[in-house]
Amino acid sequence: EGRVEVYHDGKWGTICDDQWDDRDAEVVCRQLGLSGNPKALSWAHYGQGSGPILLDEVECSGNELSLDQCKKSDWGQQNCDHIEDAGVSCDPFTGTYLQFCAKGTVRLIGGRSPSEGRVEVYYNGDWGTVCDDGWTDLSAQVVCRQLGFR
């Protein structure tokens, strides 16, 4: 659960909550490989972002595999403030195994348990190590959340 942020054109940014509903949340949870009871949260329920607001008017049917497939405003076209940042809860969390890895899938390798290890990202058909330049505790928190840890 948390504020929804998307990566576009080299930047992370938030999604405005105009038209944001549980069908959109269902797609976000699916895209992250999470199951559970998707709930859309509005009005910066998980706090306001600080970067650009990249999307607005997201309208998913609930069957899409990713937000890219949903109807939405053009990138960067919005009329919102961060008080309208969209959030999602996928609770109760039940992790799903992603047999066919999509671009951007993350895993931990070489640790003593499934919750530790070297971070790798699946891209263009191969797994690769993430460089630690600029790596922070916040970076680690993002990876942990992507993997379903709290």
Element (H, E) at 107: strand 105-110
Closest C-alpha to 1, from 93, 89, 91, 95:
89
Q: If the chain, 150 residues long, is cut into consecutive pieces of 10 residues, what is the mean pLDDT of each piece? A: 89 92 92 84 91 94 90 90 93 48 70 84 80 82 79
CA count, 13 A, side-chain hemisphere, 121: 8
Find out if CATH 3.40.1710.10 is the number for domain 105-146: no
Query: Residues spanned by CATH 3.10.250.10 within the chain?
Result: 2-95, 105-146
Q: 112-131 b/e with 16+ CB inside 10 Å = b?
A: eeeeeeebbbbeeeeeeeee
Distance CA 36, CA 38 (A): 6
Predicted structure pTM score: 0.60
CATH fold of 2-95: Mac-2 Binding Protein (3.10.250)
